[in-house]
Structure 1
Amino acid sequence: MSKLNYQKKWVQHLLVPATLAVFSQCSFAHTRLESPTVIQGVKVHNRLNVGHGCSIDAIGTKGGSTFAQSAIFPNAVSYTPIIGVDSSATGSTWNSATYTTQPASTFYSPLAGIGTLIREDGAWPITLQKTDAVGNNDGFSAGGKAYDQTVSASIQTSVATAAITIPATSCARSVTFMLAVADICDITVPSAIATDKEVLYWSPIPNFAGVPGQPFGSAKGNSTSTNIAGGIPVGPAYSNYDGYTDAAHTIAGDGWASPATLKVYRNITGTPATVANGVYTVAQPANPLPPGCTGHGGLGDDVYVFPSAAQINAEMPIFSGVNQKGTLYWK
């Protein structure tokens, strides 16, 4: 499709929004992966589900029609992600992690291509793979039709999540990738002035010990927010796409520090081959923890991988071509 026809298709659908609903196999309160937890070494036909539209009033009632979406998985080849390791004796959450400067290869591989768009007959008439400068798949943009989400429905985009391997020498028992997602209800409003009424962001905010520049927050903060332990602090933005409820960008939005996630578990005991309904599943070898791992009382560490602000700022905009080239449709 030529750039001109591609652009016309966006505009045509914008001027004549559809009042359609695409139902998921299950219900999602927010934008989340349909299979948010997977075992290492297994490629999964996954889906990113938009659980509801943008805000429609001052108190954050959801119901706006979603017109497009931009989604990014962390890339550790062309960018340097923020990585945290939680080894605490009790519980496990990303905001109890500690920043590490160890390279991503210490904890997982591949280092990019974590999420690859699957083009099929889905909800969106326009879909495009996002890539970095050397061709690694980092996510996707999709859209071209406004979906009414005032009924209980979610919009799905199919994506293949990679077969992640945790190195045998690593003490990680799990690796969680934090996605950066923008659900766009009004593509004519740029991110610089967008509120939750036009764009609803599900933003990864690495507010944990040792991260350079943290605590990230907003000009006014919000001590009562439950998005993060202790509320949203007063502080600088993490990226240009954190999300806000006001056009002046002083109050953090509904999806601030509430990203979609992909959690990969270490296959400590191995998985035998299976045959079910004519489908053969290949056996997966055991990957036990190496000696000397002390995290969580010897059970292993939980690792959290956030896309860098540089990656989010570069790849969140929607272009007509891969590698952020061609006609700019939204930024």
Structure 2
Amino acid sequence: MLKSTEFKTRALILITAVGMVGAWQSAFAHTRLKTPEITENSARHGSDYNAVVISHGCENPATGAVDANTIGSVAVFPDGKDSIITVDGAPHSGPLTDFVTNWGNPVTKVQDRSIFAFEGYIKDSLGNKLGFWTGGGSGLTGGFRAVVPFTTAGVIIEPTSCAKSVTFVLGIADICQVTDKSGFSDETVQMWTPAVGSDYDGVGLHGFDSPATLKVTRSIAPLPESCGAGVDVVVKPSATQLNRDLRINMDGNQIWPK
């Protein structure tokens, strides 16, 4: 049997550890990708399986906790056409093809109705799948987490470029109440989007300018010797794209926002 002092010591260690875990979860409990960093791969070798992880709901006005039910989610990748590109933080005026050879149809949704009853794609005018939405049904109960599965096509970094990595910034919204844009608040939607001047920047909201990312690291062709240590490239969706694509349309009708 444990002595009283030994029991108290072990209890104190356990309480401290639990407190540290709680603090870590509180600090990092944002909607993110399950696997935020992958290596480049050839499309002929298949897809990378991943998922959007919804970590919490919207703010509950009665308690102040982020445990309101989530009724839907929408995620969009940059289209690579008018995207905002930076190289080691400096603006790049050239096209995405300077760094990536095969972007255009980046995502495929893995069919799953374990949480939300309906799902659909967000496509460009050529039919390329840039994102997806899911919603309806029982939804995500406050206090639980959700995993929304998808795959990304093989991303190939331009071998002659100096890119050692290319990070794609997503726009994601977790919806708790269907409102128009003027009704966006911490009680109605959790906005995980880059602040690029779109209607979905979420200024003043819980997740302001805290988007999920997918980092692709070079693994096929070695860096050209002239590149030195290489550069890190970041690709964000433009305000024009987010205003156009970060929405839910079903059977020809816009469901969210109103």
Q: TM-score, normalised by structure 1?
A: 0.65
RMSD: 1.8
- Partner of 1:292: helix, strand, or coil? helix
CA distance in 1, matches of 2:96, 2:126: 18
Which amino acid is 1:138 matched to? L
Asked whether 1:255 is paired with 2:207, we answer yes
Instruction: Structure 1 unaligned segments of length 5 or more: list them.
Output: 1-26, 87-96, 207-237, 245-251, 268-285
Is the CA contact (8 Å cut-off) linking 1:122 and 1:157 kept in structure 2? no
**Which residue of structure 1 aligns with residue 87 of structure 2?**
85
Give 1:84 shift: 0.7
Aligned to 1:56: 60
Pairing of 1:145-184 with structure 2 (within 5 A): 145-150=138-143, 153-184=144-175
TM-superposed deviation, 1:243: 1.4
Partner of 2:132: 140
One-letter identity of the residue aligned with 2:85: I
The number of residue pairs the alignment matches comes to 226
Structure 2 residue matching 1:192: 3-state secondary structure: helix
CA distance in 2, matches of 1:116, 1:70: 14
Q: Shift of the alpha carbon at 1:149? A: 2.3
Q: Per the alignment, do residues 135 and 288 of structure 1 end up closer, same or farther by CA in structure 2, a change over 3 Å counting?
A: same
Larger radius of gyration: 2
Measured after TM superposition, the shift of residue 59 of structure 1 is: 9.6
Task: Find 1:288's aligned residue among 222, 236, 252.
Answer: 222
Identity %: 36
SS of equivalent residue, structure 1 residue 55: coil
- Provide the residue aligned with 1:307 in structure 2: 237
Pairing 1:199–2:210 present:
no
Say which structure is richer in helix: 2
For 1:3, the equivalent position in structure 2 comes to none
Distance in 2 between residues matched to 1:108 and 1:58, nearest whole Å: 48
Determine the C-alpha separation between the residues in 1 that align with 2:245 and 2:63.
Answer: 30
**How many angstroms apart in 1 are the aligned matches of 2:171 and 2:244?**
12
User: Deviations for 1:7-40, whole angstroms, at most 9, x for unmatched residues?
Assistant: xxxxxxxxxxxxxxxxxxxx87111111111000
Aligned residue type for 1:309: A
Are the structure 2 counterparts of residues 205 and 168 from structure 1 closer, same or farther at C-alpha, using a change threshold of 3 Å? same
**Distance in 1 between the 2:156 and 2:63 partners?**
43
Q: How does 1:237-252 map to 2 (within 5 A)?
A: 238-244=197-203, 252=204
CA distance 1:60–1:170, change in 2 (3 Å): farther
Verify the 8 A CA contact 1:203 1:243 in the aligned structure 2.
yes
Find the residue that maps to 1:311 and give its secondary structure.
helix
The residue type paired with residue 149 of structure 1 is G
Change (3 A) 1:168 1:125: same
SS in 2 for 1:124: coil
SS in 2 for 1:75: coil
8 Å CA contact 2:54–2:145 kept in 1: the answer is yes
Change (3 A) 1:318 1:173: same
Deviation at 1:161, TM superposition (A): 1.2
Alpha-carbon deviations, 1:289-319, whole Å to 9, x = none? Answer: 11311xxxx2210000001111100011211
Deviations, residues 98-133 of structure 1 (Å, cap 9, x unaligned) = 111011000113222222211134321100011111
Following the alignment from structure 2 to structure 1, what is the Cα–Cα distance between the partners of residues 215 and 62?
Answer: 34
Q: Which residue of 2 aligns with 1:117?
A: 109
Question: Following the alignment from structure 1 to structure 2, what is the Cα–Cα distance between the partners of residues 60 and 74?
Answer: 33
**Equivalent residues in 2 for 1:312-331 (5 A)?**
312-321=242-251, 326-331=252-257
1:101 is aligned, of 93, 97, 108, to 93
| Contiguous gaps of at least 5 residues in structure 2 | 1-24
Cα distance in 1, alignment partners of residues 96 and 58 from structure 2: 34
Question: Do the aligned residues in 2 keep the contact of 1:180 with 1:259 (CA within 8 Å)?
Answer: yes
The AA in structure 1 aligned to 2:191 is Y
Amino acid at match of 2:29: A
Q: Secondary structure of the equivalent of 1:310?
A: helix
1:131 to 123, 127, 134: 123
Q: Shift of the alpha carbon at 1:58?
A: 9.5
